Amino acid sequence: MNIQDLLLKDAMIMDLQATTKEAAVDEMVARYKEIGVITDDALYRKDILAREAQSSTGIGEGIAMPHAKDSAVQRATVLFAKSQNGVAYDALDGQPVYLFFMIAAPEGANDTHLQALAGLSSLLINPQLVADLKQAQTPEDVQTLFANAQAVKDAKDAKEEAEEAAKAQAAAATPANDQKPFIVAVTACPTGIAHTYMAEAALKETAVKMGIDIKVETNGSEGVKHQLTADDIKRATGVIIAADKKVDMPRFDGKHLLNRPVIDGIKKPAELIQKTLDEEGSIYHATESQSSEEASADKKTLWSRIYQDLMNGVSNMLPFVVGGGILMAISFLLEQTVGAHSTTFIFLNSLGNNAFNFLIPVLAAYIAISIGDRPALMPGFVGGYMASQATASVLASKSPAGFLGGLAAGFIAGWVIVGLKKVFKNLPQTLDGLKPILIFPVLGLLIVGFIMYFMINPVFAQINLWLSTFLTHLGAGNALLLGAILGGMMSVDMGGPFNKAAYTFAIGVFTTTKDGSLMAAVMAGGMVPPLAIAVAASLFKNKFTGNERKQALANYVLGISFITEGAIPFAASDPLHVIVSSVIGSAIGGGLTQLWQITVPAPHGGIFVAPLANHGLLFVFAVLIGTFVSALILGLWRPVAKEAL
């Protein structure tokens, strides 16, 4: 696939009208939807804005490269857009953006797509091409400019590969004091589409101008390319890490290393190279230093770090929850017709139970690995398993520590390993190899096991038992209040900490008691916001712009599927009206599920698992009532859209 296959003429906007960042994104996303490149503009826009929230893709010099890879994209495409007056895009140099390259990549993009996208990204480092694009008048002009630039780059790449191979042979035969300075680098960005390859190109071109040999490893969506060998690292003067995500760091032990954001690789390549040559980077020690991802975590608040660690555990646990929970629910549905002793029921039920047995160990293990990296995986997993079992000792309890104990196990295991790394950081280098294979596994497991066995399990077993007893004897009024609170929490931040806290609490109760009543409350609460926005946009058309009405249609599907995040773009642009109305409707929906004593024995699925509920129709009514209350509040309260005035 060449550049022309990506730069569709129909997708180009030669006179972008937007003057703000949000309007520019909307205008480009609308063009993608218009020509059929994306099927769900709300989802694609959400992912574009999520990437922008990490760091602006306005890279300076009048260029922005917003990009996203998701299931809404039908084919890999680059939308070229040109603004005559410039757009205030929060670019890193603070200047307006005139040239836009919105990259859309399919969720399952193959290597051919990704290599073409990488090639396009690296072309934009050429200042002459950028200057020519600013003067382009037609889509044909744009395609011609890129075709010519690609031809020049292909010839240059072929020449460089031959020279690199020759240099490697010459270096092996040349005395060290006669060799040109040599450094290595790694570039990576969260999505691995644009910045990764632009940083690579900038570093390589600058190194040529400075008379320096460099090898750049890219950690992009197409995988690791130009991987650094042990010999490369050994003979390098120093290492440049230009990355916004975690990369393989232990291999650089003992080397002078600069760890910077990927944008510095694009904007400050000469500075990074010179500082590396001058050995200004601190010497990296694998047991003391941190990867790029971990280093950035130091700047976060304590709550942000805790939330990140918790979400790492929850996100890895969810496949077990969804897969096991839905299969168990289906088995209960079939039990009514095929009987409890049928092979079909026993197979599905045992398969679901087997998946559920891993919930707490996986939760604890991945919380631990988020804190203490790979050495924390095993003690976290074992600590989680201990939390899932009733204690067999003088401290015996009929109830396991459960979900809460698993949370504790994950955080304890992670921080135990962090502590052990600090305790043994001055171990002689000859004994360094003992850390991962002996010291961390044995001492980590011993300490975590001791804390779990004698402290966490006994305490949390009693808390878990009390919680189960409390929920079992919960009065109708208290149940209604709890359902309303959990339902409302699902709408407070629509996928953020409050939403995840409510959902995690319901999962914990579900795994402990096998009672799906609170699952019904959070599911109803989470379905209301996107459905309410879709209904409000259909009933109160003058309160929404034309583009918003189009986006709202997708929320019918997202809402019935229990994907609350479909409401995020609307909440971001109008938080007061959208969030307040959503919380009210979600609280009503969640409360009604408890008033009508509805249980949903599945942790996900929305309307599609309603048949598994004990009162499926009442569950649907609870969602509909909450939806229409929220939609009416939003529609009546929200001001008329500007384009309708």
Cα–Cα distance, 146 to 311 (Å, whole number): 42
285: tokens are: 């020690």
Query: How many angstroms separate the CA atoms of 628 and 164, rounded?
Result: 66
Q: Name residues whose C-beta falls within 8 Å of residue 315's C-beta, 6 or more positions apart in sequence.
A: 366
What is the strand order of the sheet 223-225 is part of?
Answer: 223-225, 213-220, 182-188, 239-243, 256-260, 282-283
Task: Name the amino acid, one letter, at 411.
Answer: F
- In the residue annotation, 285 being an active-site residue is answered as no
Q: How many CB atoms lie within 10 A of CB 159?
A: 10
| pLDDT at residue 409, rounded to an integer | 93
Single-letter amino acid, residue 583: V
pLDDT score for 494: 72
436: its two tokens: 């991962």
SS (H, E, C) 289-358: CCCHHHHHHCCCCHHHHHHHHHHHHHHHHHHHHHHHHHHHHHHHHHHHHHCCCCHHHHHHHHHHHHHHCC
Half-sphere exposure for 450 (CA within 13 Å, toward CB): 6
Comparing C-alpha atoms, which of 610, 615, 624, 577 is closest to residue 595? 615
CA distance 185 to 20: 35
* Residue 264 CA to its chain's centroid (Å): 22
Pairing outcome for strands 239-243 and 256-260: parallel
Among 107, 106, 112, 116, CA closest to 194: 116
pLDDT band of residue 100 (cuts 50, 70, 90) is very high
Residue 301 confidence (pLDDT) above 80: no
What average pLDDT does this structure show over 562-589? 84
Does the pLDDT at position 30 exceed 90? yes
Q: What angle do CA 389, 393, 394 make, to 5 degrees?
A: 135
Catalytic residue of the set 113, 189, 256, 577: 189
- Alpha-carbon distance of 189 to 598, in angstroms, equals 45
Judge whether residue 624 has pLDDT over 80.
Answer: yes
Per-residue pLDDT tens digits for 41-53? 989 999 898 888 7
Position with higher pLDDT, 288 vs 166: 166
d(CA 540, CA 555): 15
What is the pLDDT at residue 192? 55
Span 337-345, average pLDDT: 84
Helical segments of 79-194, H only: 111-123, 127-135, 139-173
3-state helix, strand, coil in the chain (%, to 5): 65, 10, 25
User: Mean per-residue pLDDT for 613-635?
Assistant: 94
Checking phi first, is residue 94 left (phi over 0); if not, alpha (psi -120 to 50) or beta? left
pLDDT class for 564, splitting at 50, 70, 90? confident
User: pLDDT at position 451, please?
Assistant: 93
Give me the pLDDT at residue 410, please.
93
Mean pLDDT for all residues in the chain: 81
Check residue 216 and give its pLDDT: 92
User: For residue 436, what pLDDT is reported?
Assistant: 80
- The average pLDDT across 494-520 equals 76
pLDDT at 168: 62
Minimum mean pLDDT among 30-34, 395-399, 519-523, 556-560: which range? 395-399
pLDDT band at 170 (very low <50, low <70, confident <90, very high): low
439 DSSP assignment: I
Answer yes or no: is pLDDT of 293 > 50: no
pLDDT at 483 over 60: yes
What is the crossing angle of helices 21-34 and 546-560, to 10°?
A: 70
* pLDDT reading at 587 higher than 90: yes
**195 is annotated as an active-site residue:** no
Asked whether the predicted pLDDT for residue 292 surpasses 60, the reply is no
Provide the percentage of residues in the chain whose pLDDT is more than 90. 27
In terms of phi and psi (left: phi > 0; alpha: psi -120 to 50; beta: otherwise), the region of 606 is left
Q: Is the pLDDT of residue 112 over 50?
A: no
Residue 410 or 437, more confident:
410
* Residue 288's pLDDT band (cuts 50, 70, 90): very low
Higher-confidence position of 328 and 349: 349
Would you state the pLDDT for residue 28? 95
